[in-house]
């Protein structure tokens, strides 16, 4: 089956994130609750390349689920631009939205019960989205068997969710999400209800979807520990992208490998940058900093005049 992905017009080629699979450009989502505005997303920028597996981390209330709801087509942003593949998420018709949710993307929720129908077997659960997409019964059965097999659930295909452990249920959920060959898999806290060993199992299944099927995987979590499971971690704070950490494995001269994590701050298109709180407090950076353009980097220093002024004020206070 091929996806009915729309191609972006050629005139949009030069846009921000033209080569990315997922583009969030200044995405804003405001909720109105009894006349009070809640800014869940406050101009969030995010680019994800095809084939990546990333984690989005952030404290509870930072806007992670809101972002995932926007990307999975459940919710529409208030402003900004959000694109996944050729799909512009701000201008989807109702019919497009249905096709998008059915076959362009797959999702896995934290509550295992939300992913699976309790009265259907694992196999029937995986076949269901294919039935909705009009796939022939024989093809459905074969693909469901293949998917469950590759996720290590082949021998439990006839069991109902209630007869499976939490980790097994989430692996079936991954098979359901992959049923219609989505380009992207979104998972919102997929291991939130599982212990560490079972979480590891679910991550292994997500990694397999990523490496073997080439599916792009975006995992949302409040657990910074999972950072070790992916190549890139994007941290969001107060509805904005705060920093990114890239991990790579380096081999030293003795052949030993070690993982190197490099932290990057996000520079938005207006040139704004957020310095980590510990950098600011260590160097006393506040209000105004001195900037200098060097040959290959930019230097940032505390405002020397402010430091002198505050020292003078402190001395005058004493006298
Ligand atoms: P996270 O998933 O990171 O915990 P959420 O995206 O669920 O964060 O929430 C971000 C902010 O938006 C919170 O302040 C939350 O209370 C608010 N929020 C989320 N959904 C709604 C909603 N449907 N109505 C009103 N406020 C909401
Ligand atoms: Mg959430």
User: Is residue 229 domain-shared with residue 310, that is, in the same domain?
Assistant: no
Tell me what pLDDT residue 100 has: 94
Q: Are 103 and 154 in contact (CB under 8 A)?
A: no
Is the minimum distance from the CB of 60 to ligand 1 under 6 angstroms? yes
Nearest residue to 289 via CA among 305, 278, 277: 305
Tell me what pLDDT residue 317 has: 67
Q: Output the CA 63–ligand 2 centroid distance in Å.
A: 7
Q: Output the CA 106–ligand 1 centroid distance in Å.
A: 22
User: How many domains is the chain partitioned into structurally?
Assistant: 2
Tokens describing residue 150: 């590759």
Q: Are 123 and 158 in contact (CB under 8 A)?
A: yes
Considering every ligand atom shown, identify the ligand nearest to the alpha carbon of residue 62 and give its number.
1
Among 246, 261, 278, where does a domain finish? 246
What H or E segment, with its residue span, contains residue 292? strand 289-293
Could you give the C-alpha distances from 211 to 55, 197, 205, 218, in angstroms and in order?
16, 21, 10, 13
**Residues spanned by the domain of 295:** 288-319
Q: Are 289 and 302 in contact (CB under 8 A)?
A: yes
Nearest residue to 125 via CA among 81, 182, 178: 178
Among 229, 246, 263, where does a domain finish? 246
User: Is residue 309 domain-shared with residue 164, that is, in the same domain?
Assistant: no
Q: Residue 138 falls within a domain, yes or no?
A: yes
Q: Cα 190–226–215 angle (5° rounding)?
A: 60
pLDDT tens profile 255-272: 888 877 777 887 777 788
Helix 166-178 × helix 196-213 angle, to 10°: 20
Q: Residue 6 falls within a domain, yes or no?
A: no
Tokens describing residue 192: 């939130």
Q: Residue 217 falls within a domain, yes or no?
A: yes
- Among 36, 55, 61, 188, the mutation site with the greatest number of ligand 1 atoms within 8 A of its Cβ is 61
3-state SS assignment for residue 1:
coil
What are the strands of the beta sheet with 36-48, ordered from one edge?
36-48, 22-33, 79-84, 87-88
Judged against a pLDDT cut of 90, whether residue 277 lies above it is answered with no
Judged against a pLDDT cut of 60, whether residue 8 lies above it is answered with no
- Give residues with Cβ within 8 angstroms of 131, minimum separation 6: 137, 140
Q: Residue 269 falls within a domain, yes or no?
A: no
User: Is residue 228 domain-shared with residue 312, that is, in the same domain?
Assistant: no
Cα 106 from Cα 87, distance rounded (Å): 14
Q: Residue 270 falls within a domain, yes or no?
A: no
pLDDT tens profile 83-131: 999 899 998 899 999 999 988 999 998 887 789 999 999 999 999 999 9
Q: Residue 127 falls within a domain, yes or no?
A: yes
pLDDT tens profile 161-181: 999 999 999 999 999 999 999
User: Is residue 208 domain-shared with residue 293, that is, in the same domain?
Assistant: no
Q: Output the CA 70–ligand 1 centroid distance in Å.
A: 12
Q: State the pairing for strand pair 53-57/232-237.
A: parallel
Q: Residue 106 falls within a domain, yes or no?
A: yes
Q: Are 231 and 210 in contact (CB under 8 A)?
A: no
User: Is residue 71 domain-shared with residue 161, that is, in the same domain?
Assistant: yes
Nearest residue to 127 via CA among 178, 65, 69, 67: 178
Considering every ligand atom shown, identify the ligand nearest to the alpha carbon of residue 60 and give its number.
1
Banded model confidence at residue 160, pLDDT cuts 50, 70, 90: very high
- Give residues with Cβ within 8 angstroms of 166, minimum separation 6: 112, 193, 194, 198
Q: Is 214 left (phi over 0), alpha (psi -120 to 50) or beta?
A: left
User: Is residue 178 domain-shared with residue 38, that is, in the same domain?
Assistant: yes
User: Is residue 238 domain-shared with residue 292, that is, in the same domain?
Assistant: no
Among 194, 219, 246, where does a domain finish? 246
Cα 137 from Cα 116, distance rounded (Å): 19
Tell me what pLDDT residue 12 has: 47
Q: Are 60 and 236 in contact (CB under 8 A)?
A: no
Kindly report the CATH number assigned to the domain that includes residue 66: 3.40.50.300
Q: Residue 237 falls within a domain, yes or no?
A: yes
Q: What torsion, rounded to 10 degrees, do the Cα atoms 234, 48, 215, 98 define? A: 100
Tell me what pLDDT residue 272 has: 80
Is the minimum distance from the CB of 221 to ligand 1 under 6 angstroms? no
Indicate the average pLDDT of the chain.
87
- Helices of type H across the chain: 64-71, 94-99, 112-115, 122-132, 137-150, 166-178, 196-213, 277-283, 304-318
Measured distance between the N- and C-terminal CA atoms of the chain, rounded to whole angstroms: 82
User: Is residue 70 domain-shared with residue 163, that is, in the same domain?
Assistant: yes
User: Is residue 71 domain-shared with residue 192, that is, in the same domain?
Assistant: yes
pLDDT tens profile 200-257: 888 999 999 999 999 999 999 887 777 778 889 999 988 888 888 887 777 888 888 8
User: Is residue 151 domain-shared with residue 47, that is, in the same domain?
Assistant: yes
User: Is residue 213 domain-shared with residue 293, that is, in the same domain?
Assistant: no
User: Is residue 164 domain-shared with residue 223, that is, in the same domain?
Assistant: yes
Tell me what pLDDT residue 14 has: 61
SS3 content of the chain, % helix, strand, coil (to 5): 35, 30, 35
């Amino acid at each position: 089956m091929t996806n009915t992905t729309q191609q972006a017009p050629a005139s949009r080629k030069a846009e921000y994130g033209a080569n990315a699979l997922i583009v969030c450009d200044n995405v804003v989502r405001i909720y109105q609750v009894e006349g009070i505005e809640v800014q869940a997303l406050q101009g969030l920028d995010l680019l994800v390349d095809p084939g990546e597996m990333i984690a989005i981390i952030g404290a509870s209330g930072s806007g992670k689920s809101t972002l995932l709801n926007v990307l999975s087509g459940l919710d529409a942003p208030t402003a900004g631009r959000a694109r996944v593949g050729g799909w512009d998420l701000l201008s989807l018709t109702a019919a497009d939205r249905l096709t998008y949710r059915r076959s362009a993307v797959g999702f896995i929720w934290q509550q295992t019960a939300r992913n699976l129908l309790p009265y259907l077997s694992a196999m029937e659960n995986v076949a269901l989205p294919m039935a909705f997409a009009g796939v022939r019964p024989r093809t459905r059965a074969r693909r469901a068997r293949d998917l469950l097999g590759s996720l290590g659930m082949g021998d439990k295909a006839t069991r109902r969710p209630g007869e499976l452990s939490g980790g097994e249920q989430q692996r079936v959920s991954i098979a359901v999400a992959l049923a219609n060959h989505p380009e992207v898999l979104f998972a919102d806290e997929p291991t939130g209800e599982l212990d560490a060993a079972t979480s590891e199992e679910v991550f292994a299944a997500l990694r397999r979807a990523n490496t073997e099927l080439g599916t792009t995987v975006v995992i949302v979590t409040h657990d910074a520990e999972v950072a070790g499971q992916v190549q890139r971690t994007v941290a969001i704070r107060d509805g904005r992208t705060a920093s990114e950490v890239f991990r790579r494995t380096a081999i030293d001269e003795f052949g030993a490998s070690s993982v190197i994590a490099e932290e990057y701050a996000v520079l938005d298109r207006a040139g704004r940058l957020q310095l980590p709180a510990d950098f600011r407090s260590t160097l006393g950076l506040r209000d105004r900093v001195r900037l200098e353009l060097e040959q290959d980097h930019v230097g940032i220093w505390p405002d020397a005049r402010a430091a002198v002024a505050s020292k003078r004020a402190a001395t005058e206070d004493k006298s």
